[in-house]
Amino acid sequence: MDSRLLMDVRRYAIPVVLALLLHALAVAALYGGWNPEQQAKVIKPQIVKSQLLVLEPKAKPRPKPKPAPKAQAAPAAQSKPEPKSPERPVEPAPDPQADKEAARQQAEQERRERLEALAQSSFLDALESEAGDLAESQAASAAEEVAQSYRYGIYRRVVANWSRPPSARNGMQAKLLVELVPIGDVVTVTLLEGSGNGAFDRSAEAAVRKARRFDVPKESEIFERYFRRFTLLFRPEDLLR
């Protein structure tokens, strides 16, 4: 009960106080001579006009545009000068004496060239001929040596086959022609020159025929040159050594 009363007092205390204050103010106004129509003196404040200035940075001056280059006028086509026809040189008048001298010199030059060519050709021909002769000489010498060795073989075969007749004497000789074929066979034996002694001549022919075949060189050139046909000279003093 007491708490409730206390709560009611708190609830109405503030409004009551406010009401009392209002009444007190009203009474004071009445007794203080307050004229509601009296205008209150208003102090007007001095107004200072101000303006906010915004300082903008100075814009840099724009560079002046460069003037566009003037188009150069195309050079006027130059007309090519017409080619001048070459001037014909003035031919000098013919000089018969000069022409004659030039012809003589030309003929002399050609003659010298022919002589030099002939001399050179003759020299080369001489060298070639000399070389050929030397080669032939060397070949002939070699062939002669080969032939001589085969002649000695034939001589020994004839000596081995010869039967000396009792009437043979020193100083007799018989010359025979012998023909062979490439394999060395004896084809013919002919008496070219007799000794005057028939027995000696016949014994010489018989010695060659008895051999029947001789050794001959294989080279056909040497055979044809030395052994196709050759002469054989019989002498008793040579055969009896």
pLDDT attached to residue 75? 54
| Cβ count within 10 A of residue 204 | 28
- ∠ CA 212-215-221 to the nearest 5 degrees? 120
What is the fold, at CATH topology level, of the domain defined by 145-239?
3.30.1150
Overall pTM > 0.85: no
Residues 236 and 200: their CA atoms lie apart, in Å, by 9
Residue-wise pLDDT tens for the chain (241 aa)? 556 656 665 666 677 777 778 777 766 666 555 554 544 454 555 554 545 454 555 556 666 666 666 655 555 556 666 666 667 766 666 677 888 888 888 998 998 888 888 887 776 776 676 666 667 777 788 888 998 999 989 988 998 899 888 888 888 899 999 999 999 999 999 999 999 999 999 999 999 999 999 999 999 999 999 999 999 888 866 554 4
| Crossing angle (nearest 10°) for helices 198-211 and 96-161 | 100
Q: Where are the domains of the chain?
A: 145-239
